[in-house]
Amino acid sequence: MAAHEKNSASSPLTARIRKSFVSAERQFTLDVKFSAAPGFTILFGPSGAGKTTILDCVAGLATPDDGRITVDDRVLFEENAGGKNNNRGENREPVRKNVPVAKRGVGYVLQDLALFPHLSVEQNTEYGIANLPRAERKQRASAMFEEFRIAHLRRRFPGEISGGERQRVALARALVTDPCVLLLDEPLAALDAATKGKILDDLRQWNRAHRIPILYVTHSREEVLVLGDHVLVIENGRIIAQGTPHQVLRAPLQETVAQLAGFENIFDAVVESVHEDRGTMICCLLAGELENGLPLETPLVRAEVGSRLRIGIRAGDILLATGPPAGISARNVIVGRIVCLERRDMIISARVDCGVEMEVYLTLAAREALRLEVGLQVWLVIKTHSCHLMQT
C-alpha cells in the first residue's frame, strides 16, 4: 500500500541541458533535450556518453552551462545565457534559476547506492523524512518496508545485507520522500537476473500508484528490452535515437546504434523482394566476390524493393553445424568454410567465409565436440529475427 497517494497525475519532466567539460584528455559537450512521461525512460549508451551527468543535472548535483529543467511545471533550473529572445520575440534579461539540490524533491539512487554506513536500514529509510512527526515518519517508513520487502532488515546495517537488499533499501530511502522524479543510475548492474526482475516488479508496482517519471540509466541491452517504455540512446553527449526499445534497437536506425548494441556482423544489403504475407523480406548481402549477393530472409520493415539498407547480426545469434541441418525453423542456412578460429577469453570466435565473412561465437565445448578446424565446411543457421535492419 502506498504511503502517500498523489491526487493529480504528474506532468512530465522536461529537460534541455548543455554542459561542456574540458580536460587534458578530451573535450566533451553534453547537449540534450528530452521529456519524460510518468513511467520508465531509459537512458541507454556506452559509458562516458554523458548519462550520469544528465541525472546529476536533474538532481542539481551538477550545473548545466545552459538549459532548462522542469517537473510538474515547476522550474528546477533555468539558465538562459546572454538574454536571448524568448518565444514572444521580446528581449529579456538573462534568466537564472537554480533550485538547490535539497529543495528539488528529486529521488536519486546513485550508482553505488550511497547508503549511510553508520545508520541502520530503518534510519537510512527515514533519513529524508526526519522532519516529519514521529508517528507519520514511522508509518511512511513501514509502508516502504512492506512495499520493498525489507521489513525484516530494519535493524541491520548496510554492511550486513546483500547487494539486492541494499538496492531495495536505496529505493525505499529515495521513494519514501515522495519525489517528483526518480533517477536511477545503473541500479541493477551488479545483480543477477532473478533478483533484478523481482526488484523491478516492486518498483513498477510502486509506480502504478504514484506515476512519476523514472529516468533509468543503463548500458545493458537486456535491461532496455525488459524495461523500456521509452528509450533515449545517448552517445557522445547527444541523443542519437529515441523511441520504444524495438524501434531503437530493432528497426532501421543509424549505424551507431547497431554498433553500440554489439553487432559483430554488419553488412550492406539490397532489398530483393518483400513478402508481406509472410511478414518477411529477402535481402541480398553485397560483397565483392558475389555477383548476386547472398540472400537472407529478414523481418519486414518499411523499405522499397531495391533500396539499400544495412543488416546487423550478432555473432552469438548464429548457429554453426558441421552437416546440412534439416527440419529446423530458421529460414537462413548458409554454407561456408571456416577461415579462422580464435579463442577470446571463454569463447571461440570463428570466421566463416560464405561469400561474405561472418563472425560466429561458440563455446569451448562446442569447438571440441564438433572438432572444428580451419578449412572445414560448415553450415550457418540464422533466424529471420536475428537479422537487425538499419538505415545506411
Partner 1 sequence: MYIDWQAFRLTLELAVVVSAILFTAGLPLAYWIAFSRWRWKFLVEAMISLPIVLPPTVLGFYVLVALGSRSPLGRWWQSLTGHTLAFTFTGLVIGSILYSLPFAVQPFAAAFSSVDRKLIAASATLGASPWGTFVRVIVPLSKAGLITGVALAFAHTTGEFGVVLMVGGNIPGVTRTASIGIYDQVQALNYAGANSMALLLLLFSFVVMALVYGLNRNGLGRRAATIVSLR
- Block residue for cell numbers 522524479: 181
Q: Does 260 bind partner 1 (CB under 8 A)?
A: no
Other beta carbons less than 10 A from residue 29's beta carbon: 14
Separation CA 381–CA 360 (nearest Å): 10
The one-letter code for the residue type at 365 is A
Q: Does 98 bind partner 1 (CB under 8 A)?
A: no
User: For partner 1, what does the binding mask look like between residues 8 and 47, x meaning CB under 8 A?
Assistant: ----------------------------------------
Q: Does 363 bind partner 1 (CB under 8 A)?
A: no
Q: Does 114 bind partner 1 (CB under 8 A)?
A: yes
User: For partner 1, what does the binding mask look like between residues 328 and 357, x meaning CB under 8 A?
Assistant: ------------------------------
Q: Does 105 bind partner 1 (CB under 8 A)?
A: yes
Q: Which three cell numbers stand for residue 97?
A: 534559476
Q: Residues 130 to 189: which contact partner 1 by CB under 8 A?
A: 130, 173-174, 177
Separation CA 236–CA 226 (nearest Å): 24
Q: Does 116 bind partner 1 (CB under 8 A)?
A: yes
Residue 78 Cβ vs partner 1, minimum distance, rounded to whole Å: 20
Q: Does 108 bind partner 1 (CB under 8 A)?
A: yes
Q: Does 364 bind partner 1 (CB under 8 A)?
A: no
130 or 346: whose CB is closer to partner 1? 130
- Block residue for cell numbers 536500514: 121
Closest CA relative to residue 251, chosen from 383, 392, 389: 389
> H/E element holding 18?
strand 13-22
Angle, CA 286 vertex, CA 285 and CA 292 arms, to 5°: 90
Do the strands 332-344 and 319-321 form a parallel or antiparallel pair, or are they unpaired? unpaired
Site for partner 1, rule CB under 8 A = 59-61, 100-108, 110, 112, 114-118, 127-128, 130, 173-174, 177
